[in-house]
Amino acid sequence: MMVFLFILGLIVLVIGPIVGVMSSDLATAAISIACGGLLIGLSKLIEMVEDIKSNLLRAPLTTSQVATIIKNTMTYEIESKGLEIELNSENENGYSVIRIEDDYYIAVSLFSKYLTKNEEEYIFALPRQDVITLYLEYNYYKEVGLFKVMNEVYVNLSKLNVQPIFSGNSVTLKYIQD
């Protein structure tokens, strides 16, 4: 419904004024602009209400909501005293440390030096830690260990016994028990 209203609003907003001007009917042009804007605004209002509703109901986040959170998360320079960090080839500024429902997630590629993959099984052999095996999920849910969205795999840092310490534009990763 919301996409339909948005597209309809754009069509009315673009075509209405053109038709109004070509037929020398400025009232039609003005009404088209107002109605197009109203339809677009209504679609955005519906989107906001749906987000509020899902938050109030504690419904699981949808893939598009998780993707929006990831897109809106800033990147940080990652540091660690006990781990060798892989540089992010896609973004030289660092990695996004994503907070979703009180858990922190980061791209699994950060740990590539300590990672062995066997289809959907990811085995992490971090220094001074027991080997940790996580299984890839294709949808996010609360406290998931490993999930894939937008062609990127993210790992829950707490499942690796790692916590982020934020300081300005940098994040230091350290083991929880240290």
DSSP per-residue codes, 110-162 = GGGGGEEEETTEEEE--TTS--EEEE-BSS--TT-SEEEETTEEEEEGGGGTE
Position 82 confidence tier, pLDDT thresholds 50, 70, 90:
confident
Global confidence as pTM:
0.68
Q: Is the pLDDT of residue 124 over 90?
A: yes
Q: Is the pLDDT of residue 171 over 60?
A: yes
30 CA to centre of own chain: 38
Tokens (6 digits) for 44? 């955005």
At 89-101, the pLDDT tens digits run: 666 668 999 999 8
Phi, psi of 28 (to 5 degrees): -65, -40
At 135-154, the pLDDT tens digits run: 999 989 888 999 999 999 99
Position 158 confidence tier, pLDDT thresholds 50, 70, 90:
very high
Phi, psi of 155 (to 5 degrees): -115, 140
Q: Is the pLDDT of residue 178 over 70?
A: no
